[in-house]
A and B are shown apart, each in its own frame.
Chain A
Amino acid sequence: MKKLFAFVLAVMMVMSMLAGCGASESAPAADAPVAEAGAIKLGMCGPLTGGAAVYGTAVQAGMEIAVEEINAKGGLQFALNCQDDEHDTEKAANAYNTLKDWGMQIMAGPVTTAPSNVVAGECANDQIFMLTPSASGASVIEYGDNIFQICFTDPNQGTASADYMATHDLGTTIGVIYDSSDVYSSGIFDKFMTQAEANGLNVACEASFTGDNKSDLTTQVTQCKEAGCDVVFLPFYATEAAQVLTYADKIGYKPVFFGCDGMDGILTVEGFDPALAEGLMLLTPFSADAEDEATKSFVAKFQEKTGIVPNQFAADAYDVIYALAQACENAGVTADMSATDINAKLIEQFTSMTFDGLTGAGMTWAATGEVSKTPMAVVIENGVYVGVE
């Protein structure tokens, strides 16, 4: 009896599978935002839920603002579809396929590196142009000629940090704390160590943690203190950095703390006293306190939309849309072109054009897909970023 019931269920499953396919064929865009006729379809996927959601939602909001602005101008029209990938490689593949069913012509994502490695493989395979706002892993752009980044690669940040420390007199003994289970953090760490050795820097302490035990970083800070480090390099994200700074303050340890672009957002970490971040240095392409018109207008719109100050991820996302708009206009891309045709035109544009955005002026791209822009070192003074040369 039970087996028979199971059999009936199985038949129903097959039927529902069929029904599912049928439905998704007849209305492939049922769940997608309504695209205006003549709009170029941009797909984005990122962690909109889960542990990394802060980056995904920032990118989504940044892109939405840019698309609204561009569409309001008339002329070139964009339609944006954002799918959740939960910062997971498997879900990213599913999100990508969902976007493809929607009719995506350009991929303006993903947000984080691990999912990007999967999506980049698919984009290279399907010849869909991909420009990621914030997936900084060096491996992402290796998948094909049509994969481009608008952020620095991790190795570049590691090298730039070591160079900065060598040329500026920050301290004599360097300590590094990094997340060995994280692609971003260990990517920067590896290159930093190589370059530090080349520059003859004295790295006295290397302390690591993993994603599973990052709730308590006191041991690592104590290690650095005991090794007598007067500069501590923190190549990881703001939430963990907040812990390090809080604990260092508690034990009265006051070295120069130095971070990368993941440190951006430290001033808005929940439950963290921004006063502790005084004197913190970081390399970032974007500062929300910059005085130029474009940044001011973007920050105002972002605050109105989300209620928080935009971080570097949001600014990169905003730049992605404008860079794509510029390339599409120059190349005369229209909505009725196939993704493959658009891909060929955009590769040509991106390898030849110069783009000015919020995260840097005069950006150019190499044929590998790597962006060339200068990292900006800032120091936190009185709760705001102040540029140092």
Chain B
Amino acid sequence: MKKLLKNKTFLANSRIYLTVIVAFLVMFSLSNAGILSSSWKGYLVPICAYISLAVSLNLLVGICGELSLGHAGFMGIGAFSGIIFAALLKDVVVSDTLRLLLAMVGGGLLAGIVGFLIGIPVLRLRGDYLAIVTLAFGEIMKNIIGNLYAGVDENGFHMAITTSKMALGEGGKYIINGPMGATGVQKLATFPMGFLLVLFTLFVVLNLINSKEGRAIKAVRDNRIAAESVGINVTAFRMKAFVVSAFLAGMAGVLFGLNYSSITATKFNFNTSINILVFVVLGGMGNILGSVISATILYVLPEAMRSLEDYRMILYAVVLILVMLFTWSPKVKEIVSVISAKLSGIFKKKEVETNG
């Protein structure tokens, strides 16, 4: 146990888990006690989805060092496949929670498979080229989903890209209706399930980072040639990070999609990808707890500033710029390090006292 407590990674990781668990317990008990306002209750599930998205993108951007601008594409695949799965399983699985769970696994797997297929050509590229291709991928996904028709009738499940091929029989019901998106979706997402997804995402990402694979991925990021020279299969490890990231984004997409009674493909556009990237960059590349915090704050910020009406979007941008300048300023870094040195000094003293 003592050895474990001295393990730096273990301490850092348990800090992340602890923060998330405490935040969940506080919000959950507040929500159950009826103290939480409707707006705050409404933020909880999307915040969980965005935290998972930011953490999974951080794996790709921060740990693997690949700039991806198509994360919303994976989110969209997850959201729409999750909606289809949930609708198809409606009569088979009675429990809402189990249905959400199955939909999440299904949506995540589908996004992971698509991520793998995309990864084959895409991961041959590096840097800016990868960014451009993932950007294009995100847009392609948005347009495909935007033209997708899916529905059920007495003959079972139908799916098509054009309306003419999509002839539903009597009593047939559209699940996804092309540009109109999915309407009349049963809301399955709950805050505890969102929390579990965040925990699962953290578990997967943190364990991956601290494993042998994770060290190889970081080696590829820091120096590709050196990594190759010691026998690391560069493409395979980049692919691992890419697929895991896509899988988690797909799961988060399912949670997001099943939180609203209707959703359209246009939601998963370039802006959403950039938004998630902003969470990652402002939280700090490679800093997992940073992603969790920045996703939470940056999601709530524009909503909390509703009272400022027309000025809120300007202020949001100003805040982003300030945070960026602030966290990069050497002076601020110096002040922070002085404060944290003092704080850790206090902790150390206490440790000495208790030991003595």
Contact = CB atoms under 8 A, between A and B. Distances in A.
Interface of A: 1-11, 13-14, 17-18, 20-21, 24-25, 28, 30-31, 48-49, 83-84, 88-90, 93-94, 96-98, 100-101, 113-114, 117-118, 120-122, 137, 139, 142-143, 180-183, 186-187, 190, 210-212
Contacts of A20: 40, 300, 304
Contact of B179 (A7, A21, A94, A182): A182
A24 B146 contact: no
A187 B264 CA distance: 14
Interface stretch (B30-38, B84-92, B112-120, B128-136): B30-38
Interface in B214-259: none
Contact of B180 (A28, A101, A186): A186
A346 B139 CA distance: 44
B19 interface: yes
* Main secondary structure on B side of the interface with A: helix
B163 A13 contact: no
A210 B246 CA distance: 27
A83 B267 CA distance: 19
Interface string B124-151: 0000000000000001000100110000
A24 B340 contact: no
Given A143-B261, A180-B179, A97 B38 contact: yes
Given A14-B23, A17-B26, A49-B313, A118 B260 contact: yes
A188 to B, nearest CB: 12
A183 B181 CA distance: 8
A370 to B, nearest CB: 16
B39 interface: yes
Given A14-B22, A137-B180, A1 B146 contact: no
Contacts of B38: 97, 100-101
B344 A1 contact: yes
Given A89-B267, A211-B266, A21 B43 contact: no
Contacts of B292: 10
Contact of A21 (B37, B147, B178): B37
A28 B261 contact: no
A121 B40 contact: no
Interface string B300-336: 1001101101100100000000000000000000001
A7 B37 contact: no
B337 A13 contact: no
Interface residues of B, number: 63
A21 B30 contact: yes
A98 B184 contact: no
B190 interface: no
B262 A117 contact: yes
B113 to A, nearest CB: 26
* Main secondary structure on A side of the interface with B: helix
A17 B264 contact: no
Contacts of A25: 35, 37
11 contacts: A4-B344, A7-B19, A10-B293, A17-B27, A25-B37, A84-B309, A89-B264, A120-B261, A180-B179, A186-B179, A212-B143
Contact of A181 (B22, B23, B266, B306): B266
Given A120-B261, A190-B163, A139 B336 contact: no
Report which residue of B11, B289, B341, B344 has the largest number of chain A beta carbons within 10 angstroms of its beta carbon.
Answer: B289
B292 to A, nearest CB: 8
Contact of A139 (B12, B42, B183, B303): B183
A12 B31 CA distance: 20
B4 interface: no
B5 interface: no
A187 B180 contact: yes
Nearest to B174: A139
A118 B293 CA distance: 28
A142 B184 CA distance: 8
Nearest to A185: B179
